[in-house]
């Protein structure tokens, strides 16, 4: 049997029109209705609107969570199971839902509050960096205050985060091939998010976490875990801690995973997995057509 991992995308994977085809299913109709009751606005209307609005943190994060959760439900309905879950930043919430640690409503309420706090953040800067000497980057991060390595996506792509002055100083001090400023309001996954993280932790502590039914690999500590308290603590650390995606990919290989399924819009994560784990079977699961093709090929497997 193929040992499969489900991975869930984060902010940056949003696409206009995503999730609209899912409305053909009863599961999606119910989830969209529940989401509108919680959020006070329509996921579908937002996804059918303009990219500029959809790409605002306040809307992007709930939309991605809900669509990933629906796709998870549809995979389960077809008898599909995964041996391990992981998500990139926001995607960790969908991973925890898929693992049975959070219920749908609790997860969405957390994502809504997270999005509000991150949308309100200001005074920070994030830049994606490609083509660099890793030792030089690490040395610069250690030497320059108020800048961190926020996302370690693969060996040749990272994201740095911090105060604008510190980020610019790092970029000026290290030879790189390409840099792309991210359209975000704050220095996400850095200590500059400490105040927002503290506010969010108070909400997080009030939510019931259950032991995961399958292991979840967290962003800040890329080792598989099922214990509810451990997973909750790791999620608390996420807003100020790094996304260690490269190490997550390596952990999947160490666990004997043979196929990675990206459960959500786009193919960002499978692209990153491909760079770190060549030879891994990769599958996108963002549409009903993807689901139909996957299940008609008898690809659903149950691996403990």
Cα 28 to chain centroid, rounded: 20
Closest CA to 4 of 86, 64, 70, 78: 86
CB atoms within 10 A of CB 183: 11
CA-to-CA distance for 201 and 188, rounded, in angstroms? 15
Give the active site residue among 13, 89, 163, 197: 89
Q: Does residue 89 have an active-site annotation?
A: yes
Place of tokens 């976490």: 209
Closest CA to 292 of 18, 26, 77: 77
Give the active site residue among 82, 189, 190, 197: 189
Cα 154 to chain centroid, rounded: 15
180, containing H or E segment:
strand 176-181
CA-to-CA distance for 45 and 272, rounded, in angstroms? 30
164, containing H or E segment:
helix 164-173
Active site residues: 89, 189
């Amino acid at each position: 049997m193929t040992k499969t991992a489900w991975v869930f995308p984060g902010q940056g994977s949003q696409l206009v029109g995503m999730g609209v085809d899912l409305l053909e299913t009863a599961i999606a109709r119910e989830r969209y209705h529940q989401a509108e009751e919680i959020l006070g606005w329509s996921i579908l209307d937002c996804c059918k609107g303009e990219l500029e609005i959809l790409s605002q943190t306040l809307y992007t994060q709930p939309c991605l969570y809900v669509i990933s959760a629906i796709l998870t439900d549809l995979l389960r309905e077809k008898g599909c199971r995964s041996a391990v879950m992981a998500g990139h930043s926001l995607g960790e919430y969908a991973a925890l839902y898929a693992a049975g640690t959070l219920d749908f409503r609790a997860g969405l309420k957390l994502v809504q509050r997270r999005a509000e706090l991150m949308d309100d953040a200001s005074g920070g800067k994030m830049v994606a960096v490609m083509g660099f000497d890793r030792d030089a980057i690490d040395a610069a991060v250690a030497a320059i205050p108020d800048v961190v390595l926020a996302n370690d996506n693969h060996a040749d792509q990272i994201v740095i985060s911090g105060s604008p002055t510190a980020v610019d100083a790092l970029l000026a001090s290290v030879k790189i091939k390409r840099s792309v400023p991210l359209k975000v309001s704050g220095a996400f996954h850095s200590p500059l998010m400490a105040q927002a993280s503290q506010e969010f932790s108070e909400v997080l502590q009030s939510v019931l976490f259950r032991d995961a039914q399958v292991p979840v690999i967290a962003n800040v500590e890329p080792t598989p875990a099922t214990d509810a308290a451990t997973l909750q603590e790791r999620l608390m650390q996420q807003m100020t801690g790094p996304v260690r995606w490269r190490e997550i990919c390596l952990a999947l290989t160490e666990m004997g995973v043979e196929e990675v399924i990206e459960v959500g819009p786009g193919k960002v994560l499978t692209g990153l997995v491909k760079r770190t784990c060549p030879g891994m079977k990769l599958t996108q699961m963002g549409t009903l057509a993807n689901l139909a093709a996957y299940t008609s090929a008898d690809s659903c497997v149950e691996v403990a």
